[in-house]
Amino acid sequence: AKRSGADRIEIFNAAMRTEDESHLPLESELRMALDRQQISVLYQPITRLASNQLAGFEALLRWDHPTRGRLAADDFIPLAEESGLIVDLGSYVLNQALEQAASWHRVLPRDRDPLFVSVNVSSRQLFRQDMVQEIRLMLARESVPKGTLKLEITESLVMENPERAVEILTWLKAYGASLALDDFGTGYSSLSYLHRFPFDVIKVDRSLVSESALDGQTPLILRSVVALAHELGKEVVAEGVETQADASYLRSIGCEFGQGYYYGEPMSAKDVAALLAALASH
Ligand code: C2E
Ligand code: CA
Ligand code: CA
Ligand code: CA
């Protein structure tokens, strides 16, 4: 049976149940949260493994809920997708992220590789006619170096409509965005269709990385993914790098980038600015 939206919202509510049950449904709260500036964007560092240099950040949404406290993306993104609010949230995070990236470029030395900002895109956004135009205008307005904006797109999303996805992704690239295949290694991952899509980067999901130090087949799988990605001319970002051992292993197999608590948790725009100011003065 097809699961209705109501079902899923019900599951969501059950997981979220707190002492105050009498308030507005979370969906209308989320609608107001954007206007009331309760939604913030955090930035998690992504490091180039070979040089240990900061390479960019992934933008991640948070909701500072007045009574529930700070909600992680997993706690409200599904609801936002369900209700269509993800379109407005998505525009918000794109604008914020690009504005921040432009400000990073102003403080860092010119001879340094420009930092990129990676933004998650959901299916409700990708297949909308106006998103491509919106991104084109945004990129023209901020005049950031090519590749500054990376769009993270999951394989399940592109597989919803592969032909249309190829078209859209090709336009986005033409406008100067770079493209990352997100959450690789979850679901029915298959590298065989990868050459059809113009991705620049493969992001290996943390479920594959967190077991890399263990016995079993995971290191072999990880190594094969990296090797095949390279054969196809794509770079690899590993998520969920939590220990020095994870980082060394990934470096040893030629993975280009690492992201995870070992390098830093998602941080506020203000903290990023302080970090970059310290980098610039060294
Ligand atoms: P994701 O794209 O896989 O993002 C990585 C998630 O892993 C983030 O969770 C991040 O905080 C967490 N993480 C980072 N390093 C580590 C680590 O070393 N260990 C562990 N255990 N976790 C780590 P977060 O911020 O809760 O986001 C969850 C998901 O929500 C994201 O998964 C992404 O799919 C979605 N999301 C977040 N922001 C946005 C957004 O602006 N738009 C859309 N459409 N989705 C978003
Ligand atoms: Ca992501
Ligand atoms: Ca992931
Ligand atoms: Ca994801």
| pLDDT score, position 52 | 96
The Cα angle at residue 30 between residues 29 and 33, in degrees rounded to 5: 85
Q: Confirm if 257 and 46 have CB atoms less than 8 A apart.
A: yes
In tens, the pLDDT along 65-113 reads: 999 999 999 999 999 998 889 999 999 999 999 999 999 999 988 888 8
State the average pLDDT for the chain: 88
Closest-CA residue to 165 (of 194, 139, 133, 197): 197
The confidence score (pLDDT) of residue 195 equals 84
At a CB cut-off of 8 Å and minimum separation 6, what does 127 contact?
Answer: 160, 161, 164, 168
Three-state DSSP state, 118: strand
Under DSSP, the state recorded for 148 is S
d(CA 253, CA 238): 11
pLDDT for the residue numbered 3: 43
Q: What is the pLDDT of residues 178-202, one digit of tens each?
A: 999 999 988 766 666 778 899 999 9
CB-ligand 1 contact for 46 (6 Å cutoff): no
CA angle 142/148/152 to nearest 5° reads 115
pLDDT value at residue 88 = 93
80 lines ligand 1 (CB under 6 A): no
H or E segment at 181? strand 178-184
Chain position carrying tokens 């990676």? 118
User: For residue 80, how far is its CA from the centre of ligand 1 (angstroms)?
Assistant: 15
Query: Is the shortest distance between the CB of 93 and ligand 1 below 6 Å?
Result: yes
The predicted-structure confidence for 258-267, as pLDDT tens digits, reads as follows 999 999 999 9
Q: Is the CB of 227 under 6 A from ligand 1?
A: no
Residue 124's pLDDT band (boundaries 50, 70, 90)?
A: confident
Q: What pLDDT, on the 0 to 100 scale, is given for residue 21?
A: 45
Q: What is the pLDDT of residues 30-53, one digit of tens each?
A: 999 988 999 999 999 999 999 999
Matching residue, tokens 């690899």: 236
Around ion ligand 2, which residues have CB less than 5 A away? 120, 152, 182
Compute how many other C-beta atoms are within 10 angstroms of the C-beta atom of residue 265. Answer: 12
Q: Which residues contact 250 (CB under 8 A, 6 or more apart)?
A: 49, 209, 212, 222, 238, 241, 258
Determine the residue type at 231. E
Q: 125-164, pLDDT tens digit by residue?
A: 999 878 999 999 999 998 899 999 999 999 888 988 999 9
- Regarding pTM above 0.95, the answer is no
- Return the ligand number nearest the Cα of 181: 2
Inform me whether the pLDDT recorded for 223 exceeds 80. Answer: yes
